[in-house]
Structure 1
């Protein structure tokens, strides 16, 4: 166990997500939890929900979904090498994430990007087209 000795204890889920480096700030972690983007053992979590060792978390960040098992507890943010030891991602979650990344790469390649940025006249024309004028 890192930083603090835990005897059958728990850490707030927002603090743990921040310490495990899923979110850059604790307030972003708290907003994600309040927004229903985090589940603990299949139940929607509150920011004050306690995380215990061997809990399963389902975290959604944008288009990416993580399913992880908690291996250790920490309420302090440390180096990425330490944060990576706090959890293990399930193989199914890892495969799904890699598949999504590959689909995004393929979609990006199929949509050509313009060589140059549109000038002011072209931007106005695009705006009129998108607004249906």
Structure 2
């Protein structure tokens, strides 16, 4: 039986929410300054995020504003990943993530 998690590493969350194809690419995005947490630039992929945090992501040349809704427990299918966040630029309507980008 899995326990609910309050906080999770940002690189792991980006991978589970399917914003990045691999955890290594997620860590690279964070280290490369492509991710902001509540307006502050992140440089370490080990930084913890949790429900209520707002992320600004620049992935694949596109900027996204995301609110973390849940930490999740695994990297599941896209419809499951879409329940982990709320796309604030889409008027608050949850959408399935696009295909992961590999360039940062």
TM-score calculated relative to the size of structure 1: 0.63
Secondary structure in 1 matching 2:66:
strand
Question: Which segments of 5 or more consecutive residues in structure 1 lack a partner in the other structure?
Answer: 96-133
Quick check: which has more Rg, 1 or 2?
Answer: 1
Q: Return 5+ residue gaps in structure 2 as ranges.
A: 92-104
Q: Does 1:13 align with 2:16?
A: no
The match for 2:23 is: 26
Q: Which has the higher contact order (CA 8 A, sep 6+)?
A: 2
Matching of residues 1-133 of structure 1 within 5 Å? 4-6=3-5, 9-45=6-42, 46-90=44-88, 93-94=89-90
Secondary structure at 1:67's aligned position in 2? strand
* C-alpha RMSD of matched pairs (Å): 1.5
Between the aligned partners of 1:20 and 1:76, the Cα distance in structure 2 is: 9
SS at match of 2:75: coil
The count of aligned residue pairs is 89
Which string of whole-angstrom CA distances, capped at 9 and with x for unpartnered residues, describes residues 80-133 of structure 1?
11100000011xx338xxxxxxxxxxxxxxxxxxxxxxxxxxxxxxxxxxxxxx
TM, length-normalised to structure 2: 0.79
Q: Matched residues in 2 for 1:82 and 1:62: separation? A: 22
